[in-house]
Amino acid sequence: MIDATTFRDVMSQWPSGVTVVTTLGADGSRHGMTASSFSSVSLDPPLVSICLTKTLYTHRLIRDSGVFGISVLAKDQAEVGRRFAGMEKDVASRFSGESWTTGETGVALLDSALGWFDCRLLHEYPGGDHTIFVGEVVAGRAARRSAPLLFHSRGWGQFADVLPDVATLSDGGVVGALVDAGRSEEVVEVTAGVAAAGSRVRIADLSRVRSAEEARGLVGSWAPLDAASVLVSDRRQADLALALGVGTVELVVDPGRRDQVDAALVAVDGIAARTAVHLISAFGVERLDVVLEAVQRLARAGVAEIVLPDTAGSATPLRVRALLQEAVAIARPVPLRVGLHDRDRLGLVKAIIALKSGVRHFDTTLAGLDGSVATEDLIRLLEEVDVDTPVDPGLLIELARGVRRPERDGHSTTLTTLAKNGAALIDAGGPETVGAAG
């Protein structure tokens, strides 16, 4: 027979979630402990099990009371786990400092947990020096969507961050930046080049247009519309853009204004699959809750993308991490797209954090003309960490060089690059200026 030390050593390599098991004393008082030996047993009827050492005080209380609760801890709740494991000394009450719900059975259930089950004891079976308690679940709550707290190799931790295999890019700023810089004559060629490279490009801001003619004048037949997006402010403008053949419409919403989120949900009804919604100031201090609520509501509506822009460049790497680890899980299966500013020269640091937090889609700007992370810089980063991208990296890098050096022998470098790569150029007969959002 295997010896106890070897058995424990092997089992320590099996990662498990961490729960707080709660029950009641004879006088109705609350009691709880940390446990990892928790499992589902049956879906119909809903049954779960926990295995507790027979010598534990909580073991006797569950047997006597016939009730127990299971609260599943999140990645940021190691302190709670340690407290209920008795690892923190001089604690007056293990329940202090947390918000608790009293279940139907009377047990305490942790409000901030990933979720909880309220259970009545149905069966108990001998399991060596443990007892296997099987509980009938009378109530449950999925309270959060985040990574779980894990116990592995006798330590507390969380899932390792895994880089994606593929990341996509879209350009949300180059057209607006060129127009603002008085370089409108380059817009057609640059737009064609970005589209030819396989990246979506925002070509116009229709948020102030009042007629189809006005919209047509801004969008024009010169643009690669199926690979383009435009900014709109309401459903009427969205319908105008989609009727012109634009692939994606983009709405901008303040998540701190519930009325704006409500209006956006009404506006996207029927066109959600072709709509990306930007949540402004998403990384602002003390905006986490309102942003996550907006993400959840938009995801339920089935929008094509939810965009979290760091327009002001004020997001710190830690703030990016804190938001994205929650938001990515809440948004699924709707993808999050992140636009990161490079004003503090930490744009690529925040990009790698976003990648490791589960983001697969990025807004960048060719040559970083509007202060955003430069498309070519992010491409190089992706190449260095073996993350593929469906765009043509070489073409985009050459386009970025052309944007940085707009004139060569009387021709734009972008035109030369596109011709060299065999891309089909769109005739430069578009509008003299293109109103695009920067």
The CA dihedral of 125, 127, 129, 134, to the nearest 10 degrees, is: -50
Task: Band the pLDDT of 218: cuts 50, 70, 90.
Answer: confident
CA atoms within a 13 Å half-sphere pointing along the CA-CB vector of 177: 20
pLDDT at 410: 43
Q: What are phi and psi of 408, to 5 degrees?
A: -155, 115
Environment class of residue 256 by beta-carbon count within 10 Å: exposed (0-12), middle (13-18) or buried (19+)?
Answer: middle
Distance, CA of 277 to CA of 295 (rounded, Å): 9
* Domain assignment of residue 320, yes or no: yes
**Do 293 and 410 fall into the same domain?**
yes
The CA dihedral of 43, 45, 51, 54, to the nearest 10 degrees, is: 180
Task: Band the pLDDT of 434: cuts 50, 70, 90.
Answer: very low
pLDDT tens digits, one per residue of 17-51: 899 999 999 999 999 999 999 999 999 999 999 99
Domain total for the chain? 2
**Do 377 and 276 fall into the same domain?**
yes
* Domain assignment of residue 433, yes or no: no
pLDDT at 145: 63
Instruction: Tell me the pLDDT of the chain averaged across its residues.
Output: 86
**Do 280 and 390 fall into the same domain?**
yes
Highest mean pLDDT: which range of 9-18, 81-90, 271-280, 412-421: 271-280
Distance, CA of 283 to CA of 396 (rounded, Å): 28
CATH of the domain at 184: 3.20.20.70
Closest to 355 measured CA to CA, from 163, 184, 85, 200: 163
Distance, CA of 278 to CA of 231 (rounded, Å): 10
Kind and range of the H or E element at 437? none
**Do 114 and 178 fall into the same domain?**
no
Residue % of the chain over a pLDDT of 90: 63
**Do 302 and 360 fall into the same domain?**
yes
pTM equals 0.68
Q: Which of 87-91, 112-116, 231-235 has the lowest mean pLDDT?
A: 87-91
Q: Are strands 47-53 and 67-72 parallel, antiparallel or unpaired?
A: unpaired
β-pair partners for 117: 70, 140
- Order across the sheet with 47-53: list the strands: 30-35, 19-24, 67-72, 115-127, 130-142, 47-53, 38-42
pLDDT at 144: 61
pLDDT tens digits, one per residue of 229-252: 999 999 999 999 999 999 999 999
**Do 216 and 351 fall into the same domain?**
yes
Environment class of residue 165 by beta-carbon count within 10 Å: exposed (0-12), middle (13-18) or buried (19+)?
Answer: exposed
Closest to 290 measured CA to CA, from 253, 258, 325, 244: 258
Across the range 80-107, mean pLDDT stands at 91
* Domain assignment of residue 437, yes or no: no
Tokens of residue 315, six digits: 């997001």
pLDDT at 413: 42
* Domain assignment of residue 313, yes or no: yes
Q: Which of 103-112, 269-278, 322-331, 374-383 has the lowest mean pLDDT?
A: 322-331
**Do 226 and 144 fall into the same domain?**
no
pLDDT at 406: 54
Tokens of residue 375, six digits: 């498309």
CB 52 within 8 A of CB 104: no
pLDDT at 408 over 50: no
Across the range 306-321, mean pLDDT stands at 88
Distance, CA of 71 to CA of 60 (rounded, Å): 19
**What is the dihedral sign for C-alpha 339, 340, 343, 347?**
negative
**Do 104 and 138 fall into the same domain?**
yes
Across the range 75-92, mean pLDDT stands at 87
CATH of the domain at 86: 2.30.110.10
Across the range 192-213, mean pLDDT stands at 89
pLDDT at 115: 94
pLDDT at 433: 25
Place of tokens 């890098």: 397
Across the range 316-329, mean pLDDT stands at 89
* Domain assignment of residue 137, yes or no: yes
Highest mean pLDDT: which range of 75-89, 133-147, 353-367: 353-367
Closest to 348 measured CA to CA, from 167, 199, 157: 167
**Do 273 and 135 fall into the same domain?**
no
pLDDT at 216: 83
Better-scored residue on pLDDT, 418 or 328 = 328
Across the range 303-315, mean pLDDT stands at 89
Task: Band the pLDDT of 364: cuts 50, 70, 90.
Answer: very high
- Of 157, 186, 202, the domain-final residue: 157
Kind and range of the H or E element at 307? strand 305-309
pLDDT at 109 over 90: yes
- Of 125, 157, 189, the domain-final residue: 157
* Domain assignment of residue 56, yes or no: yes
**Do 230 and 272 fall into the same domain?**
yes
pLDDT tens digits, one per residue of 268-291: 999 999 999 999 999 988 889 999
- Of 104, 138, 157, the domain-final residue: 157
* Domain assignment of residue 398, yes or no: yes
* Domain assignment of residue 436, yes or no: no
Distance, CA of 368 to CA of 375 (rounded, Å): 7
Residue % of the chain over a pLDDT of 70: 89
pLDDT at 389: 93
Task: Band the pLDDT of 215: cuts 50, 70, 90.
Answer: confident
pLDDT tens digits, one per residue of 124-151: 999 999 999 999 999 999 876 667 888 8
Task: Band the pLDDT of 99: cuts 50, 70, 90.
Answer: very high
pLDDT at 409: 42
**Do 9 and 133 fall into the same domain?**
yes
Buried b (16+ CB within 10 A) or exposed e, 381-415: bbeeeebebebbbebbbbbbebbeebeeeeebbbb
**Do 220 and 79 fall into the same domain?**
no
pLDDT at 317 over 80: yes
Tokens of residue 23, six digits: 């029950």
Distance, CA of 177 to CA of 169 (rounded, Å): 18
Task: Band the pLDDT of 223: cuts 50, 70, 90.
Answer: low
First-residue to last-residue Cα distance in the chain: 70
Domain of 54?
4-157
Distance, CA of 382 to CA of 363 (rounded, Å): 14
